[in-house]
Amino acid sequence: MKTKFLTVLLPIVLLVYLPLLSVAQSAQKQEQTFTPEHLREDFTRFRSALEEAHPGLYRYTPKAVFDAKFDSTFATLSNPKSEQEFYVALKPLVTLIRCGHTKFLPKGEYNYWFHAGQLFPLKLYITGSKAHILYSYDGAAEAPAGAELRAINGKPFGDILQKLLPNVSFADGLVQSSKYIELSKYFSGYYASFIEATPVYSVTYSGADGKEVTAEYPAIRLETLKASEQQKEEAKPKQSPFSLTFNEENVAVLNVDWFMNSEEAKFKKFMAEAFKTIKERNPKALVIDLRYNEGGMDSYGMLLSSYLADKPFQYFKKVVSKSNKKFSFSDRAHEPWYYGYFRSRMRKNDEGTYDVQPRKYLKEIQPARDAFTGDVYVLTNGWSFSVTGEFASVVHHMGRATFVGQETGGAYQGDNSGYFSILPLPNTNIDLGIPLWAYYTAIAKEPVKDRGIIPHHIVEPTVQDVLTGTDRELLYTLELIRKKAASQANSK
């Protein structure tokens, strides 16, 4: 059902992928200020919409905590603010929901980009509390590839990170892995929005001899950053989002880059042919690569899990919505025109929420024909999210795979997603994207409360791996398979 996210979230998708307003327009927009009355009106709309429609508002954060945070934030709106200042004031509230599907984005901006003419010029790789420099977006400026970044404009990177993390909402529950990937991808925008934008950036990093070096780098424009990223993306070899290969040791590797392909028949055909081939080849093991797979359609994850099952299983325990009535703000929001059909089929349950129909998502699933019953290894990272997180949760719970990599961005117990309501706030015009359905995977108990799927083997690429294109997680997994095969051979 997560493809409905694309249907209704088109305004937000456009913010990310379509050309921007000019820098001049952006600068003009940032100079506009809003009266306390307008800010409070937007805030009230923001709060009431979340309380009315969000099915998981208190899934990870108690209502009392939220109420106190709502009230304290409202109290800060007694003076005029720019759109950026208002956005910065409210973003921690979105993060507090701990729902990676809830969106809060300025209209007409590229993700979180304010100050589009004065952006930080270096691409970073952020892991844990450290950041390493990969390259300069502006080819004219040399960057010490692989060096650890220590400070920006005199601010220690650890302090910068602690200020940015409360504003990174792309994560479910208490997951952190997805936040580091998000920051690595959009650091320049986050830094400009939540810390500062300057014409020149003073960058302190570790030199080759381990001593600190400070150098100045001119700020770049967003167009420069986009062109650099596009050039690198175009240089990558083109490949299908789904592929099956076998290495010389007869290990099958199934790559699933996304579940968003709208042509479900093609996905079903590919999986049927892939697992038929796997059965015929009888590999030592099957490796399923789900890194950077942000999700898509529920049915894709359900289908793939059936090819790993050795007995009937349940995928979802429940799928619920907050209400089966039209929201008070629906006339001002972007919602699917056909969503009324789903509302009409929802029925109130004993918990006070509304069961989402159809019930097919709760039915028992049978193992697929040609299901693989051998050793399975699943590769995940922080951007294994949404449907991918649900799939990983069910397969992990079934005990059908060994997981390698980093914790998934999607939570073990499910997520809030499905259909969306996109509400532009009346004055600042910032878009609030609210997922309308809460999905709960059919698990008995979370291994670690409010977290994602934590791999059996935690493996994280180093900055040198990123620079050289070394696939540390896959290499580690193949070595696990070799060791198990050798151990089994020796025991005979």
**DSSP-derived secondary structure letter, 21:** P
Q: How confident is the model at residue 491 (pLDDT cuts 50, 70, 90)?
A: confident
pTM: 0.92
For residue 238, count other CB atoms closer than 10 A to its CB. Answer: 5
Q: Residue 332: pLDDT above 60?
A: yes
* Closest by Cα among 105, 62, 98, 66 to 170: 98
Confidence band for 116, pLDDT divided at 50, 70 and 90? confident
pLDDT of residue 1: 52
User: DSSP label at 296?
Assistant: B
Confidence of residue 262 (pLDDT cuts 50, 70, 90): low
Give the SS3 label for residue 217: strand
Stretch 356-384: mean pLDDT, rounded? 91
* Beta-bridge partner residues of 438: 320, 416
Question: By CB neighbour count within 10 A (0-12 exposed, 13-18 middle, 19+ buried), where does 145 fall?
Answer: middle
d(CA 209, CA 107): 46
Q: Given a cut of 60, is residue 5 above it in pLDDT?
A: no
Domains along the chain? 1-108+318-356+416-444 (3.30.750.44), 122-166+176-235 (2.30.42.10), 242-311+367-410+461-491 (3.90.226.10)
Across the range 271-300, mean pLDDT stands at 96
pLDDT tens column, 21-52: 333 334 444 478 999 999 999 999 999 999 99
Give the residue ranges of DSSP H helices in 245-338.
264-281, 298-306
CB atoms within 10 A of CB 397: 19
Residue 335 confidence (pLDDT) above 70? yes
pLDDT average, residue stretch 165-174: 96
Written as one string, the DSSP assignment of 317-370 is EEEEES-SS--TTGGGSB--TTHHHHHHH-EE-TTSSEE-S-GGGGSEEPPPTT
